[in-house]
Amino acid sequence: MDNLKLKAFIPLLYLVWSDDLLNQKEVATLHDFIVFQNWLTAEEKKLLLAKVAVSAPPAREVVADWKRQVETILQENISVKSIFDISILLAENDKIINDLRPAFVKLENDLGISGEEAITDFKTVAKTFTSDCETNHGFEIEKLTQILDGKQAAIIKKVKSIISRPEFAYETSTDTAVYREKVYVWCKILAAENLGNMGYPKQYGGGENIADYFAVMETLSYHDLSLVIKFGVQFGLWGMSIQSLGTEKHYSKYLKDIGSLKLPGCFAMTETNHGSNVKGLETTATYNHHKQTFTIHTPHEKAQKEYIGNAAVHGQMATVFAKLIISETDYGVNAFIVPLRDANSTILEGITIGDCGLKMGLNGVDNGTIRFDNVIIPKENMLDRFASINEKGEFESPIPSDNRRFFTMLGTLVGGRIGIPRSALAAAKSGLTIAIKYSDKRRQFGPEGGSEVPILNYRIHQRRLLPLLAKTYAIHFALHYVTNRFINKSESEMPEIEGLAAGMKAYSTWSTTAILQECREACGGKGYLSENRIDALKNDTEIYTTFEGDNTVLMQLVAKSRLSEFRKSFGEMDAMRIINYVYENAKTSISEKNPIATRKTDETHLLDEDYHLNAFQYREKRILASAAKRLKKLIDSGLEPYDAFNVVQHQMIDVAQAYLERIVLEQFQEAIQATEDPKSKEILVKLCQLYALSQIEKNKGWYLEDGYMEAVKTKAIRKMVNQLCWEIRPDAVSLVKAFDIPDSCLAAPIAF
Amino acid sequence: MDNLKLKAFIPLLYLVWSDDLLNQKEVATLHDFIVFQNWLTAEEKKLLLAKVAVSAPPAREVVADWKRQVETILQENISVKSIFDISILLAENDKIINDLRPAFVKLENDLGISGEEAITDFKTVAKTFTSDCETNHGFEIEKLTQILDGKQAAIIKKVKSIISRPEFAYETSTDTAVYREKVYVWCKILAAENLGNMGYPKQYGGGENIADYFAVMETLSYHDLSLVIKFGVQFGLWGMSIQSLGTEKHYSKYLKDIGSLKLPGCFAMTETNHGSNVKGLETTATYNHHKQTFTIHTPHEKAQKEYIGNAAVHGQMATVFAKLIISETDYGVNAFIVPLRDANSTILEGITIGDCGLKMGLNGVDNGTIRFDNVIIPKENMLDRFASINEKGEFESPIPSDNRRFFTMLGTLVGGRIGIPRSALAAAKSGLTIAIKYSDKRRQFGPEGGSEVPILNYRIHQRRLLPLLAKTYAIHFALHYVTNRFINKSESEMPEIEGLAAGMKAYSTWSTTAILQECREACGGKGYLSENRIDALKNDTEIYTTFEGDNTVLMQLVAKSRLSEFRKSFGEMDAMRIINYVYENAKTSISEKNPIATRKTDETHLLDEDYHLNAFQYREKRILASAAKRLKKLIDSGLEPYDAFNVVQHQMIDVAQAYLERIVLEQFQEAIQATEDPKSKEILVKLCQLYALSQIEKNKGWYLEDGYMEAVKTKAIRKMVNQLCWEIRPDAVSLVKAFDIPDSCLAAPIAF
């Protein structure tokens, strides 16, 4: 094609035969365009049409030559902005072509190849900011680790050194029996290191340090999670049930052997027919005053104890929850120590043990079922801190209500609802460490002609992982807060702390489930290989949202307790007065609800911590008030309260969620206040902003419905979330390194 | 307490000692109240105060007696509305007490026990609508099954009968080797039944019925998913690669043996360093014209083939994708048949096979890695439908562009992106069947004094499962539509169909991941036991979001293809004209955007299918236009298009999502139009309404931001979603029964 006029068609011809830019219809459009150009001779038309004929493609070399010609033009003319700019230069400013500009531009539009983007097909090696972004070190990792570990740094260090030993190499056998024994051996090593009895009183050989006990649970969770749960069953559930529900005679008899793992045991509460509604347990403990014994009995198959950890293989005793019957009167659920096996592991008479078999995860824990066929135990085996039977054989308790007594007993076991969310958080940290380190190195795609780019440079990948990283930091501080509240609790604070623990258990474990899901997907095929451990992390923690209280049920409880707090403040106020009260209680919020504030989008405002906290508080109060109003309306209209609560269940979840989000943000902000190292503080502030704004973004439907924000603001928040992700990305690897998870625990090849 | 005045305190005293209603502070409030009542004598005060003293709880029998007294009052006086009403009746309308009404009411408010709800603690057996709701049969299950199965009913029936045979009992061994062999044996049985070659031409022993082939894949997915994937690798990926990329000489040589599973093989595309960006594959196939051979070579470790199904144990050959090199010129990625093992399963020289080892799921499939060390294959082993080497040793192809040729080759393999989402959908159906049948029988909690209630009667449980059930039905019809489009495709429709398949692959597999997560949680501890199969369903399908194209990458592709369609329509229109165009194209939408329509909340309107479809279409167009505008603005401002696309990645996902949601709704509505049986139609309409409204609810943030709906409307939609869940609940069990999954496949004990 030496004809200058015809040269104008070169870029178009190239596009016909190069990458999949034009479809058949579009090629036909180009065909017609050529046919209708009167200034072309019949021969020229024929020549051009031959070059777009699907039946006779040009040689590969011809297409390559077209490309070279165009590339030369582009290299020599940086001002080129469109395909037509190339055409006119190839045609050496031929007048005919120049006059045809509108026709060519229309053609390019018709073919969808208008604008600058179309010419990138010809450009080689573009400089892009997406490629330039890379990991740097904006703060000292060790200092941030210190802030995270706090006062428990010493015990955390000790546990890490133990689980990094060669004997803690992960078990790779798929044989459940082998795995269970390995986990049991690990537990014995930990017991020998005095980690199991960390929470028990010193006089029974314990460490009397609950804060350290929780730190142990959390740190162990960087290792195998079956180990953590087996450990928690033995030293937490079994041991703590003795400590919390028993009295001196039980402590002196059992605690030392439990702490040393000489006496492995179980916590037998859940029954097949009663999981969430434990008040309805059906196992009976019938008192025989004459013989001074109890008879423990399973009335029917579905009343068997189920999912009981340590039951299938190792447990020698169990704390069994059963309805106490004295002279045919039911005194509600109480707790009893029941032997299951002798020291040779032989199952005792009257006890039937089943094996729960293979589970989705935690297969190193021997969960089983237990049935009792009129098993006789001595009177002293009743855990009698909250209720007892006197010399005359009469029931005695400082708490007359059976339900209330039972829930008081359960309240003493709330520690489990602190250990589990902290374990869940550790698993999330492992997953994020693996996924973020991998994403920083894994390259895929890149600018035309340039190198491939780390996938963490892609906005969508940042969006998937970095808000979750921020949330993980946020929950870390919130769980420390709950732990501290629990350790320093007074009796009167218990209802609040129980609510906090139940709520944070749900919040943290749901968060972990979502995080590990995202991590798996973010690691693609590599995330599916067991060697990279997201498999185990995900499947082991999957049940965290169910055990220690089903999350949905816990959220209902949290909401109900918020609601009863609320109603105690308001009593019989009418709807209008309630609303007014809420407004008064959120004065800063009101001032923000004027048209200027609801539309305020300057960066200083959007990143302002007070704005964040106000928005969270406002939402919490409004949702609570609205749920209360709705319930009242439903009940006033004649609904049974049971039905009314059913109708608003969905809103109740929101009540609890909004409460927990506020707590988490508040605690994150307070932790930052207390941070001294300026570089650590700086990055924590960014993470906190990202947590706050991504939660607001998630809830934008609510904020818009309420009128607290207008569209212009929620849109600005979306952009700000993107921007924060982009700004945090260079520090992302350092932020996961600050979790300081031992390499041997992390183990995943893709993380190194 | 015979003193009538004192009797007024009985309900309050009961509440102090009964369930956990009052905390210490509130008991103190009651204490103070008593102290300040001047009308009580010192002795009376002392008596009452003794009864609220924490240190000296009353006997259990005393509390029980108080309760009986209150209950008697309640039984005899149905008009009682508050605690004070009880007090006054117990006090037999004592004047002093009557005059104290305001003080008592204030006290009750202070204690948070005002209103009707407080008195339910005394009520026994309330009649509630929550308890009354139960499973009924509003339609004929078989008729709905017919509608779902459609023209493939016969083959579906055949497959079900095969996988229900005793030899298809699930493998329970945790030994991977055992499991892999079992799956292989199953595949051989299916091959013997002529199911594997269903899609191949008749002249090579096939069934020449692609529609049936997809139905086979889908139906097999009710059974073990390793089986489905192994089946798909052999007959789909391996066999179809020969059929789609090879020519007659390959068909006659291989297809029959592939279809009978005499020749197990692999599809070796993915490399460690190139998963999503397959254009960058590094394996080479160097042509030697002298010897008429190719040399297949892996240049470095990270260029090995990875995750290749059938590679670790059974595969004898593989279709290998490699860059063709002729005389040191790179002709892009082409496909070659490379032998891996001889008939005795001995690995051939130059081939190194690795085992991917344990995976999160699909452990019945032998995924492996393959490395080639200068492996020589004959020239005829090049799959030469789209490119070949002529007698002179020159490269020839009807598609001059290497990339375009490669993507054309990939396009012929799009069938995999139809098989996978259909398999995913079947897994979701299994999960929902198990979870819904269990929730219909599992009882937990209940009204005070009444029986426990099936958990599917709880609104929150309905909310968790029923919108997902509706979505599953919706996707079912959409996937049938995509299948039909694929089977009846013309060349020019291919880009659209490729986009549809890629998008629906992402939409369906993400949906399945979310559904199985919800099912696991909804089944609590039972959902965690492997015997109930949610474990396997969840872990096996987990990789569906990654393989056959990473979902996030696919969504970007779908969005880009939507965008290029869009730009072809608009060309260089300015922003305002684009917006106007969108409005014109959504005329009904405009009419809805007037203040009346944006607030319209009557039931007829909210349930109107045209309203639903308009809302979906409006959203699709607006999001597309907005992404286009934003991209244009970014590029005009000087960004490289690569960077600009990175900035809008998050919006791109929305573009694809909105497109797919519209397709799914449209197809569901069309399927309903074609439904004749009135009862089936009626329930499908409800499901379709639930799908539509729950999607709108999910996207309410966007609709509010856009102004298409106002808060009053989105709130009404939330209520309508709840109502539809409630209305569908009685039919839920029948709706999952209509999936007609064989009992032996479902297998989960909790589903029976």
Element (H, E) at B295: strand B293-297
Element (H, E) at A326: strand A317-326
CA distance B676 to chain A (A): 35
Is the same domain home to B330 and B432?
A: no
Whether the pLDDT of residue B584 is over 70: the answer is: no
| Nearest CA among A694, A219, A698, A140 for reference residue A429 | A219
Is the same domain home to A210 and A111?
A: no
Is residue A102 domain-resident? yes
Is the same domain home to B108 and B178?
A: no
Q: Do A408 and B647 touch (CB under 8 A)?
A: no
Is residue B640 domain-resident? yes
Is the same domain home to A402 and A429?
A: no
Which two tokens mark B257?
């043996």
| Nearest CA among A303, A328, A341, A454 for reference residue A395 | A328
- Among A96, A123, A150, where does a domain finish? A123
Q: Do A17 and B400 touch (CB under 8 A)?
A: yes
Is the same domain home to B386 and B477?
A: no
- Among A372, A394, A413, where does a domain finish? A413
Is residue B212 domain-resident? yes
Residue B317 bridge partners (DSSP): B265, B339
Is residue A146 domain-resident? no
B717 Cβ contact list (under 8 Å, min separation 6): B606, B693, B696, B697, B700, B709
CA distance B342 to chain A (A): 28
Is the same domain home to A367 and A451?
A: no
pLDDT of residue B295: 98
Q: Do B176 and A174 touch (CB under 8 A)?
A: yes
Q: From CA B356, how far away is CA B366, in angstroms rounded? A: 8
* Helix spans in A164-231 (H): 176-192, 210-220, 225-231
Q: From CA A144, how far away is CA A146, in angstroms rounded? A: 5
Three-class secondary structure of residue A710 per DSSP: coil
Three-class secondary structure of residue B294 per DSSP: strand
Q: What is the pLDDT of residues B671-683, one digit of tens each?
A: 999 999 999 999 9
Is residue B135 domain-resident? no
What percent of chain B is modeled with pLDDT above 70?
Answer: 94
Whether the pLDDT of residue B620 is over 60: the answer is: yes
Whether the pLDDT of residue B580 is over 90: the answer is: no
Is residue A597 domain-resident? yes
Is the same domain home to A515 and A621?
A: yes
Q: Do A18 and B463 touch (CB under 8 A)?
A: no
User: Which residue type sits at A427?
Assistant: A
CA distance A449 to chain B (A): 11
The per-residue pLDDT of chain B, averaged, comes to 92
How does DSSP assign A405-435, residue by residue?
A: HHHHHHHHTTTHHHHHHHHHHHHHHHHHHHH
Which domain does B110 fall in, by range?
A: 4-124
Q: Which pLDDT band, with edges at 50, 70 and 90, does B145 fall under?
A: very high
Is the same domain home to A279 and A348?
A: yes
Q: What is the pLDDT of residues B240-276, one digit of tens each?
A: 999 999 999 999 999 999 999 999 999 999 999 999 9
Facing B460 at nearest CB: one of A464, A649, A706: A649
Is the same domain home to A378 and A472?
A: no
Whether the pLDDT of residue B131 is over 90: the answer is: no
DSSP β-ladder status, A317-326 and A265-268: parallel
**Cβ-contact B200, B206 below 8 angstroms:** yes
CA distance A185 to chain B (A): 22
Q: Do A640 and B447 touch (CB under 8 A)?
A: yes
| Nearest CA among A460, A534, A133 for reference residue B550 | A460
Identify all chain B residues contacting A641, using CB atoms and an 8 Å cutoff: 116-117, 120
Q: Which pLDDT band, with edges at 50, 70 and 90, does B160 fall under?
A: very high
Is residue A145 domain-resident? no
Q: What is the pLDDT of residues B688-707, one digit of tens each?
A: 999 999 999 999 999 999 99
Q: Do B650 and A397 touch (CB under 8 A)?
A: no
**Cβ-contact B611, B639 below 8 angstroms:** no
> By CA distance, what is A725's nearest residue in B?
B647
> By CA distance, what is A132's nearest residue in B?
B643
Q: Do B359 and A529 touch (CB under 8 A)?
A: yes
> By CA distance, what is A404's nearest residue in B?
B19
Identify all chain B residues contacting A129, using CB atoms and an 8 Å cutoff: 643
Q: From CA A47, how far away is CA B396, in angstroms rounded? A: 22
| Nearest CA among A666, A587, A570, A588 for reference residue A626 | A570
Q: From CA A548, how far away is CA B468, in angstroms rounded? A: 27
Q: Do A111 and B538 touch (CB under 8 A)?
A: no
Q: Which pLDDT band, with edges at 50, 70 and 90, does B51 fall under?
A: confident
Q: Do A521 and B552 touch (CB under 8 A)?
A: yes
The stretches in chain A having pLDDT less than 50 are 572, 575
Is residue A136 domain-resident? no
Is the same domain home to B478 and B598?
A: yes
Q: Do B276 and A445 touch (CB under 8 A)?
A: yes
Q: Nearest 10 degrees: CA dihedral of B541, B542, B547, B552?
A: 130
- The CATH number that applies at residue A363 is 2.40.110.10
Facing A572 at nearest CB: one of B58, B114, B407: B114
Q: What Å distances lie between residue A320 and A316, A415, A417, CA to CA?
A: 13, 19, 20
Is the same domain home to B631 and B484?
A: yes
Angle between helices A609-636 and A678-698 (to 10 degrees): 30
Q: From CA B439, how far away is CA A393, in angstroms rounded? A: 43
CA distance A532 to chain B (A): 9
- The CATH number that applies at residue B563 is 1.20.140.10
pLDDT of residue B309: 98
Is the same domain home to B521 and B646?
A: yes
Identify all chain B residues contacting A435, using CB atoms and an 8 Å cutoff: none
- Among A413, A434, A452, where does a domain finish? A413
Three-class secondary structure of residue A107 per DSSP: helix
Q: Do B57 and A398 touch (CB under 8 A)?
A: yes
Q: What is the pLDDT of residues A226-249, one digit of tens each?
A: 999 999 999 999 999 999 999 999
pLDDT of residue A570: 61
Complex ipTM above 0.95? Answer: no
Q: Which pLDDT band, with edges at 50, 70 and 90, does B74 fall under?
A: confident
Identify all chain A residues contacting B275, using CB atoms and an 8 Å cutoff: 444, 524-525
Three-class secondary structure of residue A121 per DSSP: coil
CA distance A674 to chain B (A): 32
**Residues B719-741: what's their mean pLDDT?**
97
Q: Do B571 and A109 touch (CB under 8 A)?
A: yes
Q: How many folded domains does chain A comprise?
A: 3
